[in-house]
Amino acid sequence: MVSFGQKRMTTNTGAPIGDNQNSKTAGEYGPVLLEDIHLIEKLAAFDRERIPERVVHARGTGAFGYFEASADMSAYTMAAPFQKPGKKTDLAVRFSTVIHGKGSPETARDPRGFAVKFYTEDGNYDIVGNNLPVFFIWDAIKFPDVIHSLKPSPETNVQDPNRYWDFISKTPEATHMVVRLWSDFGIPQGYQYMNGSSVHGFKWVNKKGEVTYVKYSWVSHQGEKNFTRAEANEQQGKNWQHATISLREDIATKKYPKWDLYVQMIKPEDMQSFDFWPLDATKDWPADKIPKVKVGTMTLNHNPVNYFQEIESLAFSPGSLIPGVEPSEDKLLQGRLFSYFDTQRHRLGPNFQQIEVNKPKAEVTNYNSDSYLSSRNNTFQNPDVNYQPSHYTSVAEDTTYRASTSVLNNAIIAQSEISKKNYFSQAGDFFNSLDKQNQGNLIGNLVADLEQVKSDEIKKTMITYFYKADRQLGMSVAQGLGYSMKDFMNNH
């Protein structure tokens, strides 16, 4: 019986549960019946409690807070969080280890993930990086290989130095990452005691369309604190979940962790001015040559209440961008733009962005629809239209936010239409290649279909297209639809 202050237990469909302690059986000692729907549903839900763990960054924790800008960066970017001092943007953060599994110790030598999701008025913006400013490789085609070499052996299921050093010895560009990872920076004492980096360079774009290449770095107010190998071994014997516990306790006791965000900026014309390629993810941007500019501070002040819903379901991608930020030509980044979205679709489903913690605060307006766990209602002007372009909807692109135009090694990278459009001539050539019977059949088929269209404007637009392809074709379709071609052409 439900007591005062208690809530009634129900099934997932909201029906009350009368007995959650005893299965329905055929007699007191008989077998359990398949008709015990509550039992079956309860077990089925339990069987599916675990989703596929992340291929990388499986072990992690997270928190919530805000970013407060300290500089006006509008001369360089339209990105909403960086427009004026004092502007606050809500955010979520996930810290993680890269290689090891979900239940692994937080004392392992491993890069740490440092991923931040800004909930901006222009959509969600993710800065997805690590605690170290570089990575093992500079081309995404090697990413599965470096991870395979660091993961347990497919034969023994044991992580084996013979395997990853074999790979590293054949990958000289990994040397920079190796010397950083095998230093004490490879084992931070806690997530709040490490700095962060975007690793990749990105493009900032201002309202004029001008591009600046940038790299982000987070600097901990708590200072960088690391374990030696011996200290890590000692900590593992005491508590191997120390980093998660420490972060939660600091936030719970209002010792809110903070990080300052800095950017380094390079003009496109200066990209060749260094003895390294700045868009090589195995290279750091030296601060003495490329100064760091502080743009704001992140504060974490709220722990998750439900780890699965708020942190395990939290999905990041370097492709989650907003106006004012675009991908650079970094070859490792280019692969991650696909891979991160794709792995979230595999792990959480095609509608992972509709999960509460991943929902943008900005209104979502597009025609992506259906599939698993779709919860987005069609609130458009005409709910019958889920495509574009259309005469029946007011939804349209905002051309203010077209991609920037860049010239790199004499190749123009831009979002633009082709110049040789010539929409109609080959359609006319095809019509004239048909014999009289097939021309008649084509005209009849077009008329029969277009007769079902309610909009006069659409039918007249199509007649214009057909006329531009071939005069006879356009006139015949117009006549078949009951239009006077003479009057039609006078008006159009």
Q: pLDDT-based confidence at 23, cuts 50/70/90?
A: confident
Q: How crowded is residue 216: how many other Cβ atoms within 10 Å of its Cβ?
A: 22
- Confidence bin at 261 (pLDDT 50/70/90): very high
pLDDT for the residue 379: 64
User: 3-state DSSP call for residue 31?
Assistant: coil
| pLDDT surpasses 70 at 255 | yes
How high is the pLDDT of residue 86?
Answer: 98
> Residue range 332-355: average pLDDT?
90
Which pLDDT score, from 0 to 100, does residue 433 have?
94
Provide the pLDDT confidence category of residue 301 given band limits of 50, 70 and 90.
very high
Reported confidence tier of residue 443, pLDDT bands at 50, 70, 90: very high
CA separation for the pair 221, 229 (Å, rounded): 24
Average pLDDT over residues 211-215: 97
Residue written as token pair 């959509």: 123
Active-site residue, 490 included: no
pLDDT confidence bin for 472, thresholds 50/70/90: very high
Q: Are 310 and 357 in contact (CB under 8 A)?
A: yes
Which residues share a beta bridge with 118? 91, 125
340 appears as a binding residue in the annotation: yes
* 44-58, 123-137, 371-385: least confidently modelled range: 371-385
How many whole angstroms separate alpha carbon 258 and alpha carbon 251?
11
Write out the two tokens for 368.
């992506």
Give the mean pLDDT of 389-393: 79
Residue 294: beta bridge partners? Answer: 262
Q: What is the pLDDT of residue 413?
A: 63
From the candidates 57, 100, 176, 200, give the one annotated as an active-site residue.
Answer: 57
Mean pLDDT of the chain: 90
Question: Looking up tokens 């039609």, which residue turns up?
Answer: 488
Q: What is the DSSP string of 209-274?
A: --EEEEEEEEEETT---B--HHHHHHHHHH-TTHHHHHHHHHHHTT---EEEEEEEEE-GGGTTSS
pLDDT at 34: 82
**Residue 56: HSE in the Cβ half-sphere, 13 Å Cα cutoff:** 24
Q: Is the pLDDT of residue 490 over 60?
A: no
Residue 137, pLDDT score = 92
Is pLDDT at 485 greater than 70 in this prediction?
no
Q: In this predicted structure, what is the pLDDT of residue 488?
A: 63
**Could you tell me if 226 and 185 are in contact, meaning their C-beta atoms sit under 8 angstroms apart?**
yes
Q: What is the pLDDT of residues 159-209, one digit of tens each?
A: 999 999 999 988 999 999 999 999 999 999 999 999 999 999 999 999 999
pTM of the predicted model, to two decimals? 0.84
- pLDDT value, residue 41: 79
Instruction: Answer with the residue of higher pLDDT: 372 or 356.
Output: 356
pLDDT at 460 over 80: yes
Binned at pLDDT 50, 70 and 90, residue 294 comes out as: very high
Domains of the chain: 60-358 (2.40.180.10), 425-491 (1.20.1370.20)
209-213, 261-265, 395-399, 470-474: range with lowest mean pLDDT: 395-399
Is pLDDT of 408 > 70?
no
* 489 pLDDT higher than 70: no
Considering 38, 124, 130, 200, which one is annotated as catalytic?
Answer: 130
In the chain, DSSP finds a helix count (H) and a strand count (E) of 13, 12
What whole-number percentage of the chain has pLDDT above 70? 95
pLDDT over 60 (residue 12): yes
For the segment 249-259, the average pLDDT, to the nearest whole number, is: 98
Q: Is the pLDDT of residue 492 over 60?
A: no
Residue 409 pLDDT = 66
* Dist. CA 292–CA 300, nearest whole Å: 23
With b for 16 or more beta-carbon neighbours within 10 A and e for fewer, the 342-378 pattern comes to ebbbebbbebbbbbebbebeeeeeeeeeeeeeeeeee
Taking 60 as the threshold, does the pLDDT of residue 299 lie above it?
Answer: yes
Residue 57 falls in the annotated catalytic set: yes
Q: Which two tokens stand for residue 314?
A: 């939290």
Which residue(s) pair with 96 in the sheet? Answer: 60, 113
pLDDT of residue 366: 76
Phi, psi of 249 (to 5 degrees): -65, -40
CA distance 482 to 394: 30
